[in-house]
Chain A
Amino acid sequence: MSRSPGRKPENHKISRELFVLTYGALVAQLCKDYEKDEDVNTCLDRMGYSIGIRLIDDFLARSAVKKCRSYSETADMIAQVAFKMYLGVTPSVSCNSATGNEFSLILDKNPLVDFVEELPAERASLCYCNLLCGVIRGALEMVRKCTSV
């Protein structure tokens, strides 16, 4: 979708169905291309990573948030601001480790899996939403927090 210069950028809303279907088609195609689940997961992670390294600047430019002072603040920021801005949902954050360097983001409602009931038997270890993990990893790496997601 190209924007003509000079016009104030409106928030073009694309259909949510189209987005979810596009993601589903992407995962389905990857499943056809690769036999092993790990390969599909890796591919999704890599794609998410290249989205994340670009998306982070969009997020920072639009939300004008200040630097996070702690890792838990970062996790909260991702859950409450970023997820809300891009996916319209707010996952809940839970801290997994005593040292505070492991967090879980739990999505009650995940728009990406709107039309997916359950994974087929032969794809049991597929991480369907691994793209999101890659996005978070890429974004955090650009603000100099190397993470594994």
Chain B
Amino acid sequence: VGHAVLAINGAEVNGRFTADGKDVLEFLGNPANYPVSIRFGRHRLSSNEKLMLASMFHSLFAIGSQLSPEVGSSGIEMLETDTFKLHCFQTLTGIKFMVLADPRQTGIDALLRKIYEIYSDFALKNPFYSLEMPIRCELFDQNLKLALEVAEKAGPFGPGS
């Protein structure tokens, strides 16, 4: 439930079709194509879905800090479930950085601060990036990927996202 076909025989799948336009169900229905290796996984979120989920979280965050029995609560820092942990870091300027990670992964606080630095360097200092818009800066993506790799290696267990 909630899983989708991500790749068949190594070729990536987009919805119902492979990269070269073949219909996935047709391909799987034809026994001549067996054996076939299928990769399942969680469906990747589209940008719009991400925006929607982020804005929902933003509201929950605000509600959380108001409902908190402690005065001056800083909001939701961590959301823990059986399968993942969601870490949230809010800057003094109101920007929230969220990391979804394996519950056993350590060093996420340091990672969040590193991501803040990467954001202030490669997104904010890019003169063509407008504030509050989706970040489409290659240097930002590259450095973010590097930081994630470092964090994965340092932590005891496998990948975060």
CA of A62 to CA of B91, assembled, Å:
12
Say yes or no for A40: interface residue by CB 8 A criterion.
no
* Nearest CB on B from A63, distance (A): 11
Given contacts A5-B139, A54-B125, A58-B121, contact A143 B93 (CB under 8 A): yes
Q: Does A18 contact B (CB under 8 A)?
A: no
Min CB gap A9→B, angstroms? 7
User: Across the interface, do A61 and B116 meet the contact criterion of CB distance under 8 Å?
Assistant: yes
Q: Is the C-beta of B95 less than 8 angstroms from some C-beta in chain A?
A: yes
Give a binary string over B60-71; 1 marks a CB under 8 Å from any A CB, 0 the rest. 000000000000
Determine the interface band of chain A, counting residues with CB < 8 A from chain B.
Answer: 10 to 19
Q: What separation, in Å, do the CA atoms of A2 and B139 have in the docked complex?
A: 9
0/1 string, A1-37, CB within 8 A of B gives 1: 0110110010000000000000000000000000000
Most A CB within 10 A of own CB, among B92, B113, B117, B124: B92
Known contacts A5-B142, A5-B143, A5-B146; A58 and B120 CB within 8 A of each other: yes
Q: Give the contact-size bracket for chain B.
A: 10 to 19
CB distance from A119 to the nearest CB of B (A): 29
Q: Does A53 count as interface, using CB distance less than 8 angstroms?
A: yes
A44 close to chain B: CB less than 8 A: no
> For the complex, is B57 an interface residue (Cβ under 8 Å from A)?
no
Check if A60 sits within 8 Å of B92, measured CB to CB: yes
Q: A67 vs B90: C-alpha distance in the bound complex, in angstroms?
A: 12
Compute how far the CA of A148 lies from the CA of B116 in the bound complex, rounded to whole angstroms: 28
Contacts of B95 in A (CB 8 A): 57
A64 to B146, CA, bound (A): 22
On whether A57 and B91 interact (CB within 8 A), knowing A9-B121, A62-B117, the answer reads yes
- Per a CB cutoff under 8 Å, which of B116, B143, B146 touches A57? B116
Verify A57–B139 contact, CB threshold 8 A.
Answer: no
Having A2-B139, A60-B93, one finds 6 other A-B pairs with CB under 8 Å, namely A6-B146, A9-B121, A57-B124, A61-B116, A61-B117, A62-B120
CB-defined A-B contacts under 8 Å, sample of 20: A2-B139, A3-B139, A5-B139, A5-B146, A53-B131, A54-B124, A54-B131, A56-B93, A57-B91, A57-B95, A57-B120, A57-B124, A58-B120, A58-B121, A58-B124, A61-B91, A61-B117, A61-B119, A61-B120, A64-B113
